[in-house]
Amino acid sequence: MKTLAQLLATSTIMLLPSAASAQAAASANLQTSMGLRVACFSPQRAFSESADGKAVLARLATLEAERARVIDEKNKALQAQQRALEQTSPLLTEVVRTQRASEVEKFRIDVQRFIEDARAELIGIQRDAESAFVIRLKPAVAKVAQDKGLQIVFDVDDGPVAWFDTSLDITSDIVKQLALK
């Protein structure tokens, strides 16, 4: 199925003229002459323009800012501990110096783990939101495709589409359909 879609996309792209004024007419003629009604959409754009996508992106931005603030505080505390160790190191006994260096190293590792955990948390939230969005997206794409009598809808974000006539883009219609549900 993917090979057929790639072949159709490639042949559609090669057959479309480059003149801007003839693009819409040529795409309509091409679709009619081939007996196919095709369109394309951008899932990424649909996500970023939908109410759900905007809410998720805002939530992620807030969470990222909060984690960045905490990471900054932890890094400042780590730097302070390192400076204190450097300044007092000549005055400390070898045992105490080793103990404090070990404490600073442990704190550095804790900060690094916090950074990795925060990054994983953000990626996990984004992945979960995108998965939930895809579940809602598929029926919206199907509804718009059926309403427009389309036979094939190409994903311009993840496929062999090198170029397309923007009159074939149904992303805005899909975002409107998502808003209805």
For residue 119, what are the domain limits? 20-180
- What ranges make up the beta strands (E) of the chain? 38-41, 152-155
> Is 32 part of any domain?
yes
> Is 5 part of any domain?
no
> Is 1 part of any domain?
no
d(C-alpha 104, C-alpha 84), whole Å: 10
Domains of the chain: total: 1
Q: What pLDDT is attached to residue 17?
A: 35
> Is 113 part of any domain?
yes
Q: What pLDDT is attached to residue 131?
A: 93
Mean pLDDT per 10-residue interval, the chain, length 181 residues = 36 34 43 73 94 94 97 96 92 91 96 97 94 93 93 87 82 91 69
> Is 119 part of any domain?
yes
d(C-alpha 38, C-alpha 168), whole Å: 7
Q: What pLDDT is attached to residue 34?
A: 60
> Is 2 part of any domain?
no
d(C-alpha 118, C-alpha 61), whole Å: 13
> What are the structure tokens assigned to 128, written together?
């979960």
> Is 150 part of any domain?
yes
> Is 71 part of any domain?
yes
Angle between helices 51-88 and 171-180 (to 10 degrees): 90
